[in-house]
Amino acid sequence: MPLRSSTVSSPIQVLVADSHQTQAQLLVSALRRRPEFSVSICALDLDEILASLAFTATDLVLINASRPGGHPMTLVRRLQVLHPEISKVLMFESWTREMVADAFRSGVRGVFSLSESPFRLLCKCIHRVHAGEVWLSNRQTQCLIQSLAQVPSLRVVDAAGSKLLTPREEQVVALVADGLANREIARELNLTENTVKKYLFRIFEKLGISTRVELVLYAVSHSNSRPAEWVAGA
């Protein structure tokens, strides 16, 4: 009598990258109790992560960014460039709208708040992201949508890195740099065209320039892009 064949799915290969070894071991121990995961661990360091990826087959990297100063977006971006085929989940203790938006811009497929959701949902998050889906909470989804709807801005700084313009002025600079005329800027920001002219006058005065061309050149060399808080029009 022939044996009945059964299909057993392979465990998801998870690499936990965490700078806090004690708490990381607790997380790894909990994940290893789940038969659907095969878990390894390394320090929250790009070289350590790359060495682990070279040594062990990995489907998903679970990056714990919940430690003080631990928002390693640069690490995530570099990892995404080097290994775009590997899924990435970023864990936070607490988060802001900017952190969530920046995480997805950096290449993660899921964000998970350790303080807001139980361990069972982390397991579900790993499964969903491994299956090609995106994971974030309802609140984080709303924040991400709000970030996409924001007017962009350019953070203009001096040589010491200090801000020179108000948030609204930075938005005006960003729209000028995008090639918008005063009337278009006014419509975008829900302002009058005369108010836009006043903003430009103050911007020119602060930066010591006199033309839109000079403003664009200044913005290119003295600024960095960022998502901006919406500032209601007058």
Per the CB < 8 A criterion, the answer to whether 92 and 112 are in contact is: yes
Mean pLDDT of 31-60: 95
User: 73-82 and 97-106 helices cross at what angle (nearest 10)?
Assistant: 20
What is the rounded CA–CA span in Å between residue 175 and residue 188? Answer: 9
Mean pLDDT of 211-220: 80
What is the rounded CA–CA span in Å between residue 124 and residue 126? Answer: 5
- Nearby residues of 171 by Cβ (< 8 Å), 6 or more positions away: 151, 152, 153, 189, 228, 231
- Nearby residues of 187 by Cβ (< 8 Å), 6 or more positions away: none
pLDDT tens digits, one per residue of 159-201: 666 778 888 888 888 888 878 889 988 988 889 999 999 999 9
- pLDDT at res. 160: 66
Domain 150-227 indexed as CATH 3.30.160.150: no
**pLDDT confidence bin for 147, thresholds 50/70/90:** low
Q: Do domains 12-146 and 150-227 have the same CATH topology?
A: no
- pLDDT at res. 228: 45
Pick the range with the lowest mean pLDDT from 30-39, 58-67, 190-199. 58-67
* Local structure of 123: helix, strand or coil: helix
Mean pLDDT of 21-34: 90
Sheet of 37-42: strand order equals 37-42, 12-17, 60-64, 87-92, 110-113
Half-sphere exposure at residue 70, Cβ-oriented, CA atoms within 13 angstroms:
18
pLDDT tens digits, one per residue of 108-135: 999 999 888 999 999 999 999 999 999 9
What is the rounded CA–CA span in Å between residue 31 and residue 12? Answer: 11
CATH of 12-146, one of 3.40.50.2300, 3.40.50.720, 3.90.1300.10, 3.40.630.30: 3.40.50.2300
What is the rounded CA–CA span in Å between residue 214 and residue 177? Answer: 10
Angle at 144 between CA 139 and CA 148, to 5 degrees: 150
Domain extents for the chain? Answer: 12-146, 150-227
Indicate the average pLDDT of the chain: 83
